[in-house]
Structure 1
Amino acid sequence: MHPRTEGVPLHRTSRRLRRGLLALGLTAGLTACGAAAGTEPAAEGGWEFTDDTGRTVRLDEAPERIAGLNDLTASLWNYGIEPVATFGQTSAEDDVAFEGRDLGDVAIVGSAYGEIDLEALAAADPDVIVATIYPDDSSGEIPEGKEGYGFDDLDHEAQVAEIAPIIRIAYTGSAADVIERVLELAEALGVDTDGGEVAEARADFEAASETLAEAASSGVSVLPVFATQADGWWMAKAQDDPQLKMYADLGVTFVDPGGEDYFWQPVGWEEVPGFPSDVLLYSLRFSMTPEEIAAQPTAAALPAVRAGQLHPWKYIGPDYVSQAAYMEELAGYLEQAEDVTA
């Protein structure tokens, strides 16, 4: 929600971590291609995939060993592709996206933004590395010349690209579209996306979408936040976060916190009471717990906090399986919620 750090704003005085919120980019060593993003038959029986930067990865044969950012490796795993290595802002062991997974055969090569153990990643011997990229602003456009999400800088990304080519999936617009893009990647990697478990997952996703739309029809307002005592109160802008935008498109009423910045509107603790909501979603990544929020004097004055209508905001990946599960969960929160801001 990241951005998708699930969106998690990181300390405003840390250049590396702030850059992580808006990371996006291109990787050296891949062949540029002007064709539309997608897959194409490769020459002489090889394999190729054109990513969302318009760059094409070409290999002699279809890749089997996949590594990459937690957000995407978790989603691909939901389609049956177990990664050989994964990295992210947190360890996969602590990431809700991997809940219930046996990580014994997966190399966890990064557990903080921009910190990837290159030797461990190389030892995992991936054929390709998958990552996301984000816009710089609310236009949704992906600019060129910046590092991809999860990489410390362009030099760092180039070092990773020396190990294996990087495929980037754009995290922009609605997550409904991102889900389809990840599905295209899964299909290119050999997954049957028309039948079997994927067809069942698609049906579950469609049913969950209907459930959430019905629950949202009550009109209760929702505010997703990231908060720490040091950094204050960061409110997400639903139209900038693909996951939240997808929920908004289904009818969820998100509070618009205003402001000119992309993705987040941060305010000091003294300003928090000016942004009431019926339901408060708190980030599970690095944010204060519900108990800590309720103990903060100005946050405690919020209607949702007084009513005990605080629930986890889970940053989970763009795939049918994980999104269906969280949409059902979110629908339950909305169905139980009372209008406490009237």
Structure 2
Amino acid sequence: MHLSSKFRALVAALICLVALAACSAQSGTPATSAASSPSAAGPWSYTDDTGATITLPAKPQRVVGFADQVLTLLSYGVQPVAVFGRVDVKSDPRFEGIDLSNIKILGNSYGEIDLEALAEVAPDLIVTGAYPSDREGTIDSTQPLYGLKDVEQQKKMEAIAPFAAIKVGGEGIKVIESGVNLALALGADQATVDAHKALFETASAKLSETAKASDLEVTAMYADADGIYLVKPDDEPQTQLFKSLGVNYTSVNPGGAYYWDIFSWENAAKMMTGDIILLSNEGFQVADLKKQATFAKHPALVAGQVYPNPYIAMNYSAQAKAMDTMVGYLTTAKEVS
């Protein structure tokens, strides 16, 4: 079955993703001192995670971006002028408490972006993600950046402003650091970043302590009419990060296909080992799972240990909150498998 379109569409839903691999230690770093010094006047240059170098007459003031990356910039105090998302931005729970009155919404569905409205906000820079297509971290240049419909649309947007992409793959901490580097280059305050990092480190320590004392197995998955898509924990940044802290994820086939283990409903019983199910908030939900004869008796489903698994932005504060949530699951759920 050809999965490329579904692969791209599901990526952000399932704790996010689409093929991942380690980010280069040098990726996402300012290419010049002007990029690393927010107050510096004159030319601004930045090399993003795809290896592209963006050079502008001055540091970008008007930034537009895909919701996932905009959330990261906002967390560090970088205010965008516009955003486009894969779901309705105003009802996206990740934006709860964020004042959107001065942020123009350019699109609320994957790939559907109002190009006229984009031109009207006159951005200096467009920020989005780039998902590798394999574990080696390959970025397929024949495919559009994440959040965009196709290459033609990307070219039209590039005629308005250049892109800076954050690679969403490989080690979770490197994805977070890449977002930090771009935020600092766009004027984020180092003290704000440091404060968020401290919260992250505290949450990391707590999750590590809890996970190492727990025997529970966590299954991260997406489901639809075709079957179950089981996240490969080493291939997706957030699961890789949490696994590195001791969380025990279901991993039926560590090698093999990249990012997903895919099971038809007829074969769903093959992955019925988790004590906790983290279910994408897109696709099938609990009521739908209960209707599947081969899955309805999953011990975690029967025990009511199925929890929502939205894509969490890869920044220090968002991940700290996600870690606290995982601690809650691991301390309240029971072993059922």
TM-score normalised over the length of structure 1 = 0.86
Q: Where does the alignment leave 5 or more consecutive residues of structure 2 unmatched?
A: 12-16, 20-25, 36-40
Confirm whether residue 264 of structure 1 aligns to residue 253 of structure 2. no
Question: Residue 211 of structure 1 is aligned with which of 206, 209, 229?
Answer: 206
What is the root-mean-square deviation of aligned Cα atoms in Å?
A: 2.2
Structure 2 equivalent of residue 331 of structure 1: 327
1:163 alignment partner, SS class: coil
Identity %: 38
> Cα distance, 1:42 vs. partner?
5.1
Counterpart contact for 2:78–2:187, Cα < 8 Å: no
Moved more, 263-272 or 287-296: 287-296
Confirm whether residue 75 of structure 1 aligns to residue 72 of structure 2. yes
TM-score normalised over the length of structure 2 = 0.87
Alignment of 1:1-342 (within 5 A): 16-20=5-9, 21=11, 37-39=28-30, 40-41=32-33, 45-193=42-190, 195=191, 197-217=192-212, 218-228=214-224, 230-258=225-253, 260-276=256-272, 277-284=274-281, 286-341=282-337
Per-residue CA deviations over 1:257-308 (Å, capped at 9, x if unaligned) read 3273221122111222221211000011x22222332343322211111111
Counterpart contact for 1:178–1:318, Cα < 8 Å: yes
In the alignment, the residues of structure 2 paired with residue 131 and residue 87 of structure 1 have an alpha-carbon distance, to the nearest angstrom, of 10
In the alignment, the residues of structure 2 paired with residue 212 and residue 125 of structure 1 have an alpha-carbon distance, to the nearest angstrom, of 43
Counterpart contact for 1:51–1:167, Cα < 8 Å: yes
One-letter code aligned to 1:127: D
Per-residue CA deviations over 1:174-225 (Å, capped at 9, x if unaligned) read 12111111111111111122x2x33221111111111111221113111111
> Cα distance, 1:37 vs. partner?
4.5
> Cα distance, 1:13 vs. partner?
7.4
Per-residue CA deviations over 1:143-172 (Å, capped at 9, x if unaligned) read 444321112222211111111110011111
In the alignment, the residues of structure 1 paired with residue 3 and residue 257 of structure 2 have an alpha-carbon distance, to the nearest angstrom, of 17
Per-residue CA deviations over 1:20-48 (Å, capped at 9, x if unaligned) read 45879xxxxxxxxxx96411135982111
Q: Where does the alignment leave 5 or more consecutive residues of structure 1 unmatched?
A: 1-11, 25-34
1:45 alignment partner, SS class: coil
Counterpart contact for 1:96–1:316, Cα < 8 Å: no
In the alignment, the residues of structure 1 paired with residue 104 and residue 252 of structure 2 have an alpha-carbon distance, to the nearest angstrom, of 39
